[in-house]
Structure 1
Amino acid sequence: MRKRGRYPTLLAVFCALMVVLGERPAEAGAASAPVKADIFVKKVDGIDKDFIKGVDVSSVIALEQSGVEFYNESGKQQDIFKTLQEAGVNYVRVRVWHDPYDRKGHGYGGGNSDLEKAVQIGKRATANGMKLLVDFHYSDFWADPAKQKAPKAWANLSFEDKKRALYQYTKESLETMRKEGIDIGMVQVGNETNGGMAGEKDWSKMCELFNEGSRAVRDVDSNVLVALHFTNPETPGRYEAIAETLDRNGVDYDVFSSSYYPFWHGTLANLTSVLKHVADHYGKKVMVAETSYTYTAEDGDGHENTAPKDSGQTLHYPVTVQGQAHAVRDVIQAVADVGDAGIGVFYWEPAWIPVGPAHQLQKNKTLWETYGSGWATSYAAEYDPEDAGKWFGGSAVDNQALFDFNGRPLPSLNVFQYVDTGAVARLSIDEIKDVSINAVSGGNISLPESVKVTYNNGDEGSAVVTWDQKALKRAIKKGVGEYVIEGVVKGGKTVLAHLKILC
């Protein structure tokens, strides 16, 4: 933050020089003035004009096949890739699974994200002026810290044969995309490979596989960036240990990328610190390959969401559209704070909205099974019996999308363009914290005159509340028990008091 003091004087001198030189400082200043909008977004300091503002929309083809439609801000049906580009998105990430189908051709779900769908997504991204990041999982289904299973076709290969298969698969997949005219800017070799990749858990072997993937990328196009992807930046020493291991084993890559979900992954200051350490000590570019945040606690499709939860999660922002915008903006700032090496942020699955409302669960299940538009189908049990086999179903992140449940863009989608200028909105209360009161029966029972609130600009304060006195009197009269009393603050927003009367 710039300190005051001599700055106004220096600004006056600068303006005077601009007049002498024939410039008009008022116009220069106008370009960076915050725009009027539906949400507040603080301008990101130090953001480069080439900063990656990306999204991963790997599920979108399966969603569209399931009947999902997307709209622009005017409410007109429009190709989602055009809507994303209009909102400031300049990069699209797409996951690629080797063979996400059973022997009868039934898809495992999660978008049935094979090469064919990646090509479709890549072509639409390129047609709308966005680059593509190709995310190879080197698995037939989800690869993450808990599971890194090799593709079925590689299950019985020797390690040397697996290396050759990985190289050839990577090279041929990228060549297929290039023939379709897709603008590939980056390739991710593995997904959240904290302790494994393609069935290998020994780091020396993992590093050999990383290099085979990297070699394939270089052989196709030496200008394409090679990224590696890890997660859990909150664990002390994790990223230093990984970066040192990669360096010691001579792994050839350009970008060290991290997942960062605010619910689980520690502070933003820590994220900046660990990424900056890798950038400064190992000469790598760094970025966030996945992030997201909730805008509502509502479940849109009848399948339980991953957040918010009452325990085990950190929710520093209101669960609102504005809170979501603040969360995304702050992750972008954290990466920009690394310096020139901080190259971008990708939002994970901003379009994974319901295929139908929650009350039509049976119909939704049919669509998920038919088109793979949920996170997993029952057919995935043959490949992933312990996870997908037990918990298959719909979208677990529909309340973290940047589109509402009906496919219309939320104001938070525009955070990608507002980080360049800042945005201001009419000040209003964004969130009110419910209150909990324990009282003794027969004693003096009252509710607080004011409640804590968070405004849409991020400020916190208090607001006078008017409680439902009739409901309160009934509760007091009944005595021992638990009651919920509704209150209203100025502007009409409601708040709940959870009253517990003890004997």
Structure 2
Amino acid sequence: MKNCFYTYILVSLLLLLGVSSCETSERAEETGKESFAKGADISWLPQMEESGYIFYNDDGVPEDCFKILKDHGINSIRLRTWVNPSDDPHSGHCSKEETVEMAKRAKEWGMSVMINFHYSDSWADPGKQNKPKDWEGLNFDELKQALYDYTYDVMDALKKSEITPEWVQIGNEIPSGMIHPEGHTDNWSQLVELINAGYDAVKTVSNTSKVILHIDQGNNNDRFRWWFDNAENYGAKYDIIGMSFYPWWLEGKPDYTEVIEDLAYNMNDMVSRYGKGIMVVEVGGEDIKPVNTYNMLRAVIQKTKEVPDNKGLGVFYWEPQGARSWSKYALSAWGDNGKPTKAMDAFID
């Protein structure tokens, strides 16, 4: 009742100021939009659908994956994009065209969009940051221009489809840099030039989109201080610090309870040290331990929401729908029965 009253007051004030009823309705809707992102990277979805995989809701009824995710509290979608990907079902797709189509679907479901530029033809992560084949042989200035042009092209394609990404990642899990060897952290000045070329391209097309720089091991404060101290010292331009949090991938595979306070400390320290917002842009737990993964997600969401000054901006599960029976991936939140596991309930308020 209180929210309805406040919306009524807002609408009345806007009408007094001469704002049309249509504009009033849109603005009132925006005031009720949830600011905390509860997200999922579902970049595998087109391949899964193409292969005939059927998604079932909690009642065992076939349903659009977007609908199932939305019913579990997901309000934001993250999409990776590769420069010239193959058509391999697990290590391909994610072209500009496919990314735009997925973003359009997300918008139709009322979800915010994050675009994740890998700047590669396939996976980029801490173990590999391979240069796109078409960029091989370019000198450094040409490489910067290629990165700028590609980033601009994808952003412009989204804009032409009336998609404005809320967030854009420049690189994916880049503790060693990106686009090796030129963008390696062995040469911070060059890496930052590449980062800033991507930032400038994003802002030229969409100045409201927030740019994220993304590092793995969100519980590792030394790693983050070293990386972002250097990024700051060399003049990197960005808006948000992004982190991955996968206890399963850490040495010794600790339970989340052993490292959750380290994650919380690091998030708070990053915000205090650099004054930026923070997001857990990738998280995941074992599909065969759905209750443990549920508890982990609830803890990560809570710790992120507790970051001071509302600078904890959101949490994204990586490929929750990527069932092991299709992907062979052990950290989805989907069961062999084609239904979401208990883990997905963590995003429901």
Partner of 2:317: 347
1:213 to 191, 198, 211: 198
Partner Cα separation in structure 1 for residue 280 and residue 199 of structure 2: 19
Structure 1 residue 327: Cα displacement: 1.1
Partner Cα separation in structure 1 for residue 170 and residue 123 of structure 2: 14
Partner Cα separation in structure 1 for residue 315 and residue 168 of structure 2: 15
TM-aligned CA distance change 1:90 to 1:323, over 3 Å: same
Partner of 1:110: 91
Residues 164 and 206, structure 2, Cα contact 8 Å, conserved in 1 = no
Partner of 1:173: 154
Q: Secondary structure at the match of 2:169?
A: strand
Q: Secondary structure at the match of 1:70?
A: coil
How many residues are matched?
305
**Whose radius of gyration is greater, 1 or 2?**
1
Structure 1 residue 94: Cα displacement: 0.7
Partner of 2:238: 253
Q: Secondary structure at the match of 1:184?
A: coil
Q: Secondary structure at the match of 1:227?
A: strand
Residues 63 and 355, structure 1, Cα contact 8 Å, conserved in 2 = no
Partner of 1:417: 348
Residues 67 and 355, structure 1, Cα contact 8 Å, conserved in 2 = no
TM-aligned CA distance change 1:194 to 1:150, over 3 Å: same
Partner of 2:174: 193
Structure 1 residue 295: Cα displacement: 3.2
Unmatched segments (≥5 aa) in structure 2:
1-32, 251-257
Partner of 2:211: 226
Partner of 2:61: 76
Deviations 1:33-71 (A, max 9, x none): xxxxxxxxxxxxxxx941110000010100111110112
Structure 1 residue 234: Cα displacement: 4.1
Partner Cα separation in structure 2 for residue 272 and residue 236 of structure 1: 10
Partner of 1:326: 295
Matches for 1:31-70 after TM superposition, within 5 Å: 49-70=34-55
2:329 to 396, 401, 406: 396
Q: Secondary structure at the match of 1:290?
A: strand
Matches for 1:128-207 after TM superposition, within 5 Å: 128-199=109-180, 200-201=183-184, 202-207=187-192
2:284 to 287, 292, 303: 292
> What is the RMSD computed on CA atoms of the aligned residues?
1.8
Q: Which amino acid aligns with 2:341?
A: L
Structure 1 residue 214: Cα displacement: 0.6
TM-aligned CA distance change 1:183 to 1:409, over 3 Å: farther
Partner of 1:96: 81
Partner Cα separation in structure 2 for residue 223 and residue 351 of structure 1: 29
TM-aligned CA distance change 1:411 to 1:128, over 3 Å: same
Deviations 1:327-360 (A, max 9, x none): 111111222222211111100010112566xxxx
Partner Cα separation in structure 2 for residue 68 and residue 240 of structure 1: 42
Partner of 2:27: none
Structure 1 residue 239: Cα displacement: 0.7
Partner of 2:29: none
Q: Which amino acid aligns with 1:242?
A: W
Partner Cα separation in structure 1 for residue 114 and residue 140 of structure 2: 27
Partner of 1:501: none
Partner of 2:26: none
Residues 285 and 341, structure 1, Cα contact 8 Å, conserved in 2 = yes
Structure 1 residue 216: Cα displacement: 0.7
Q: Secondary structure at the match of 1:229?
A: strand
Residues 244 and 280, structure 2, Cα contact 8 Å, conserved in 1 = yes
Deviations 1:354-389 (A, max 9, x none): 566xxxxxxxxxxxxxxxxxxxxxxxxxxxxxxxxx
TM-score normalised by the chain length of structure 1: 0.58
Q: Secondary structure at the match of 1:233?
A: coil
Structure 1 residue 111: Cα displacement: 4.8
Q: Which amino acid aligns with 1:403?
A: W
Partner Cα separation in structure 2 for residue 178 and residue 116 of structure 1: 13
Residues 70 and 407, structure 1, Cα contact 8 Å, conserved in 2 = yes
Q: Which amino acid aligns with 1:331?
A: V
Q: Which amino acid aligns with 1:248?
A: N
TM-aligned CA distance change 1:232 to 1:415, over 3 Å: closer
2:339 to 408, 421, 426: 408
Q: Secondary structure at the match of 2:246?
A: coil
Partner of 1:263: 248
TM-aligned CA distance change 1:295 to 1:109, over 3 Å: closer
Partner Cα separation in structure 2 for residue 353 and residue 111 of structure 1: 17
Structure 1 residue 413: Cα displacement: 1.4
Partner of 2:255: none
Residues 89 and 416, structure 1, Cα contact 8 Å, conserved in 2 = yes
Residues 402 and 410, structure 1, Cα contact 8 Å, conserved in 2 = yes
More strand as a share of residues: 1
Q: Which amino acid aligns with 2:178?
A: M
Partner Cα separation in structure 1 for residue 34 and residue 121 of structure 2: 37
Q: Secondary structure at the match of 1:237?
A: helix
More helix as a share of residues: 2
Matches for 1:454-473 after TM superposition, within 5 Å: none
Residues 96 and 118, structure 1, Cα contact 8 Å, conserved in 2 = yes
TM-score normalised by the chain length of structure 2: 0.83
Q: Secondary structure at the match of 1:242?
A: helix
Residues 167 and 212, structure 1, Cα contact 8 Å, conserved in 2 = yes
Structure showing greater relative contact order (alpha-carbon pairs closer than 8 Å, 6 or more residues apart):
1
Structure 1 residue 406: Cα displacement: 3.0
Deviations 1:292-339 (A, max 9, x none): 11131xxxxxxxxxxxxxxxxxxxxxx2x2222101111112222222
Unmatched segments (≥5 aa) in structure 1:
1-47, 297-318, 357-393, 419-503
